[in-house]
Structure 1
Amino acid sequence: MPKILVIDRCFLSRTGLAHLVSGSALNVEIVQTDDLLRAREYMKEKPDVVIADFYGFLHDLHHIDQLSSIFAASSSKTRFILLPAVKSVLLENYCATQNVWFNADKSCSLAVLNEALQNALTLSHAKTDSRHIASLLTLREEQILQLWKKGDSNESIAEHMQITVKTVYTYKRNIRMKLGADNRFTLFRRGTELAEI
């Protein structure tokens, strides 16, 4: 049975979305939460679809990258449907670097939302995800991988990306983990897979 996680601060939105999903012809398990810590725990169950309004949580976050734990905990088949109540440039820029299936605001029609949900569930169960290896990485990770492949030093990458050297190390570790490389040498031995990145 497909699992759907609804993350939203607004009680009415959460229950309305849960009602929309349960009222459709879909036979699904729905979990809803208004807490990001609980959402991270629910992500361990690898839901098929996550419907979220992260805007309500922005004032609680020390940094927008705290949302990355939710995206990182998802499986390759998880589809994110984002429905922010209010537009936020910070949130839009961050979400553009993540693997988002459908992005609209809460004023989108129920028919459009229901169609996006149906498509997400159909595709998440249709087959195993056969995405190109690069699509496992965020945009920033892809940029860092390109610089890394060119042979740029950590300091050079940090300067180019306007981040700290420690952050470069973190990105490199995440890249190795996502691509299943035990160490940096393994990563580049698999050059045929990474050549088109």
Structure 2
Amino acid sequence: MLKILVIDRCHFTRTGIEALLNHSGTFNASFLVSGMNNLLLAKEHILQWKPHLVIADLYSFLSDPRASTPIAPFFMSCNTIPLILLQSGEREHIPAYDRQYTVHSVLSKRTALNELSDIIQDALRIRATLDTQKSVTPLLTPQEEKVLSLWMDGMGNKAIAAALGIHSKTAYTYKRNIRMKLHLGNRFSPFLSLPENKN
């Protein structure tokens, strides 16, 4: 499961990209999409969650008179994570940061969805190459990743337990740990958009 962080003050952009990734049928992978509208919190989220890709529209943050403080740390937190910048306004993208930090692509928000999909896939291929070179402990254990995958398919505790050969209370504990590690508020988190079956 690939983790993608979408940073934008526009709710519709965040939910639209999540829908493109998980419901368009364009991608062969499954995604855990986290959306944020606060650049300072995004920096901390990137450092802890370690997404495979960050997609951000920084235009509204640049319009903020206090924007000079959070933008540089944001770029530094991305480090080796592929970053796709979206442009929503008249202002050009951030040329000073482009030279200093690595940006995979800069796109207009008017870019066609198939072009955006191709660029996302290219960025994820680059990240996959980087991931094979490092030996960092992942945020979720392999068993938690299996539970999360089944959970996102809409399976309940009993079905997850039967599929993995564990007790249903153990499945519940795994789900609780996943919510805590991924900073998901509750079982009805927007990142788990499918309804959960009771079985």
Q: TM-score, normalization: structure 1?
A: 0.59
- Give secondary structure in 2 for the equivalent of 1:114: helix
Q: Which has the higher mean CA deviation after the structures are superposed, 45-54 or 83-92?
A: 83-92
Partner of 1:38: 41
Q: Which residue of 1 aligns with 2:66?
A: 62
| Mapping 1:45-194, distance limit 5 Å | 45-64=49-68, 66-76=70-80, 78-89=81-92, 91-128=94-131
| 1:101-128 Cα shifts (integer Å, max 9, x gaps) | 0111101111110001011112211345
Q: Which runs of 5+ in 2 are unaligned?
A: 134-199
User: Is the Cα–Cα contact under 8 Å of residues 84 and 104 in structure 2 kept in the other structure?
Assistant: yes
Say if 1:29 and 1:67 are closer, same or farther in 2 by CA, change over 3 A. same
Whether contact under 8 Å (2:79, 2:102) holds in the other structure is: no
Structure 1 distance, partners of 2:59, 2:98, is 11
Q: Confirm or deny: 8 A CA contact 2:40 2:74 kept in the other structure.
A: no
CA displacement at 1:54 relative to structure 2:
0.3
Shift of the alpha carbon at 1:6?
Answer: 0.1
Aligned AA (2:60): G
Letter matched to residue 6 of structure 1:
V
Question: Which letter does structure 1 place at the counterpart of 2:30?
Answer: N
In 1, Cα distance between the equivalents of 2:7 and 2:123?
A: 17
Question: Partner of 1:83: helix, strand, or coil?
Answer: strand
RMSD: 2.1
Cα distance, 1:26 vs. partner? 2.2
Structure 1 or 2: more helix by fraction:
1
Question: How much has 1:61 moved relative to structure 2?
Answer: 4.5
C-alpha contact 1:82 1:104 (8 A) present in aligned 2? yes
Q: Aligned pair in 2 of structure 1 residues 15, 90: CA closer, same or farther (>3 Å)? A: closer
Equivalence for 1:136: none
Match of 2:32 in 1: 29
Q: Which amino acid aligns with 1:42?
A: H
Change (3 A) 1:46 1:61: farther
Change in 2 beyond 3 A, CA 1:38/1:127: closer
Structure 1's 61 and 42: CA in aligned 2 closer, same or farther, altered over 3 A? farther
Structure 2: distance between partners of 1:73 and 1:26: 25
Structure 2 vs 1, CA of residues 88 and 124 (structure 1 numbering), >3 Å: closer, same or farther? same
Quick check: 2:6–2:34 contact (8 Å CA) kept in 1?
yes
